[in-house]
Amino acid sequence: MPVNHTTLESETSMLTIHDLSATVANKAILKGLSLRINAGEIHAIMGPNGAGKSTLGYTLGGRPGYEVTGGSVDFDGQDLLSLAPHERAAAGLFLGFQYPVEIPGVSMVQFLRESLNAQRKARGEDPLSGGAFLKLAREQAALLKLDPEMLKRPVNVGFSGGEKKRAEMVQMGILDPKLAILDETDSGLDIDALKVCGEGINAIMRRPDKAVLLITHYQRLLDYVKPDFVHVLAGGRIVRSGGADLALELEEQGYEGAVA
C-alpha cells in the first residue's frame, strides 16, 4: 500500500508513521502500519472492531501499556516515540478520548489552565494570565455550544456522553494543537451534538498548518468533517486508502466487502 502522494514534495509532512508495530499486554495489535499526514489535511481511519484503531491513537499518545515493538513516527521533525505523553502534547499533539476520564475534585478551568501553561512553558512561552485564559475558555465553550458554567465543574464528572465529547473539543480549542487524533469523537453523540462537534473540528483544525486524524466506525461524522483521505485499518495495518468516497463505499458494502 503506497503512502499517499509521496510525489508532492512541496507539501509539509506533519506525521509520518513508518512500519509501526505495537503490542498491548504482549498481544500484537499494530503490525507494520504506515501512514503519512501532511499539514492542511484531514484523514479518517475506519475499520472493524478490534482492528487496532484505538490502539493506534493511544500508541501515538504514549499511553503506558502500549508498547512499540517496531517502526518509527516522525511528528513535525521530532521523533514522537521518544517523547513522554506530556512532551507530545507540548509538541502540538492532541488526543481526543473515546471515553474522557473523570477527575473528581479538579475543576476543568484549573486543569486546562495548568495544562496550557505547562505546554507554553515547555515551548518557552510566557504563561497566560487568569483573565486571558478565562476569555479564551469562554470563546471556545461558546464555539462548541457548551455552557461555560460547566468549566467550573470537576473534569468530566457528571457530564453526559455528549457533554464529555463537546468538552473534549473545547479542550482542543483551548490547547490549539497542530495535530489532533480524535478517537471516536462521534460515539455517544446525538445528531445535533454531532453537528456541533463536526463544526467545532472544522473551525479549530481546518487550517493549512494543522492536521486531523479521525478514528471512527461510521461515516456519519464525515458528513460534517469532510476528510481528504480515508483509510481502512484491518488486522493492524492500513489495507486500503482512498478519498472521501471510500467512506461511502464502506458504508454500503461493509468492511468485508470493501477490503476483499
Partner 1 sequence: MTALPTRHDEAWRYADLAALAPVWPIATETIVVAPGETGARTLVVDGAAVHDFVITLGAGAEFAFHLLNAPRGYGRVAIRVTLGRGARFHLGAAQVAGGEQTVEIVTEVVHAEPDAVSRQVVRQVLAGRAVGNYLGRVVVDRGAIGTDGEQSIRAMLLDRGATANARPELEIYADDVKCAHGCAIGELDKDGLFYLASRGLPPAAAKALMLQAYLAEAFVGAIDEDDLTTAALAALEHLL
Kindly tell me which of 34 and 115 has the beta carbon lying closer to partner 1: 115
CA 170 to chain centre: 13
Kindly tell me which of 179 and 222 has the beta carbon lying closer to partner 1: 179
Q: Where are the alpha helices (DSSP H) in the chain?
A: 53-61, 85-90, 108-122, 130-143, 161-175, 191-205, 245-259
The SS3 of residue 38 is strand
Q: Quick check: 112 and 148 in contact, CB under 8 A?
A: no
C-alpha cell belonging to residue 15: 506525521
Kindly tell me which of 122 and 142 has the beta carbon lying closer to partner 1: 122
Name the amino acid, one letter, at 83: L
In the bound complex, what is the minimum distance in angstroms from residue 228's beta carbon to partner 1?
A: 25
In the bound complex, what is the minimum distance in angstroms from residue 57's beta carbon to partner 1?
A: 10
Kindly tell me which of 8 and 25 has the beta carbon lying closer to partner 1: 25
In the bound complex, what is the minimum distance in angstroms from residue 212's beta carbon to partner 1?
A: 16
Q: What are the residues binding partner 1 (CB under 8 A)?
A: 61-64, 84-86, 88-90, 94-95, 97, 100-106, 110-112, 114-116, 118-119, 122, 154, 171, 175
Kindly tell me which of 62 and 227 has the beta carbon lying closer to partner 1: 62
Kindly tell me which of 86 and 135 has the beta carbon lying closer to partner 1: 86
In the bound complex, what is the minimum distance in angstroms from residue 149's beta carbon to partner 1?
A: 19
C-alpha cell belonging to residue 107: 475543576
In the bound complex, what is the minimum distance in angstroms from residue 169's beta carbon to partner 1?
A: 13
Q: How far is CA 138 from CA 109, 145, 151, in A?
A: 10, 10, 9
Q: Quick check: 36 and 19 in contact, CB under 8 A?
A: no
Q: How far is CA 192 from CA 91, 188, 199, in A?
A: 33, 12, 11
In the bound complex, what is the minimum distance in angstroms from residue 120's beta carbon to partner 1?
A: 9
